[in-house]
Structure 1
Amino acid sequence: MDTSTPIELEETETKGRYFLKGADGAVAEMTFSKLGTDQIIIDHTGVPDAFRGQGAGLKLVTRAVEDARAAGKTIIPLCPFAAAQFRRHPEWADLIKR
């Protein structure tokens, strides 16, 4: 994965995912569920070996945070990886649903 690899978003009425495609066909993804119009639950982050050590998971969660902030949404980081990233990034605390 190089830094120019775009993060893509696919979503339906109730679910969505942010993902990165590697040159070898590998896909790193972060999936979420929608709770109404103002909240998402990050429920899974999957990073295949081809992306390990490149910050792919953090890039995906960061994009979700940026998009949620821009849309005025809150986040429930149910996924253990996402929850750990929220603990490491106190500047995201305003987005956590209390």
Structure 2
Amino acid sequence: MDIIIKQSDAKGYAAASDGEKRAGMMTYSIAGKDLIIIDHTEVDSAYTGKGVGKKMLYKIVELAREKNIKIMPLCPFAASMFRKMDDIKDVLKS
């Protein structure tokens, strides 16, 4: 599973692909120099339950750590992951 991040202007996304097939996408908005807002997660039904959403979230968390910015998870999936997983709370906007 490959996860890439693409960004332009005030929007960005993490895309998961399995070979040529898109497995999922997590979109975010850039809300200033120190905050991104995860607003949507979508996983192809063939990849449900295989950790695709979590892998995309970890890629965005890695980006946030590198840039020293915080994440506000408005997407219900991302918000639930932040509630469950202590190892990513360091980038959670309080």
User: Under a length normalisation based on structure 1, what TM-score does the superposition of the two structures give?
Assistant: 0.87
* Native 8 Å contact 2:28 2:38 kept in 1: yes
> How many aligned positions are there?
94
CA, structure 1 residues 94+26, in 2 after alignment: closer, same or farther (shift >3 Å)?
closer
Find the aligned partners of 2:20 and 2:87 in 1 and give their Cα distance. 34
Structure-to-structure mapping, 1:22-41, within 5 angstroms: 22-23=18-19, 25-41=21-37
1:69 lines up with 2:65 in the alignment: yes
> Counterpart of 1:54 in 2: which secondary structure?
coil
**Bigger strand fraction:** 2
> How far has the Cα of 1:28 moved from its partner?
0.3
User: Under a length normalisation based on structure 2, what TM-score does the superposition of the two structures give?
Assistant: 0.91
Which runs of 5 or more residues in structure 2 are unaligned?
none
* Native 8 Å contact 1:22 1:50 kept in 2: no
The alignment yields a C-alpha RMSD, in angstroms, of 1.4
> Counterpart of 1:26 in 2: which secondary structure?
strand
Residue number among 76, 87, 92 corresponding to 1:91 in the alignment: 87
Which runs of 5 or more residues in structure 1 are unaligned?
none
Find the aligned partners of 1:86 and 1:61 in 2 and give their Cα distance. 10
* Native 8 Å contact 2:23 2:52 kept in 1: no
1:24-59 Cα offsets, whole Å, 9 max, x none, are: 633400000001111100000000112112100000
Q: Percent identity?
A: 38
> How far has the Cα of 1:23 moved from its partner?
4.1
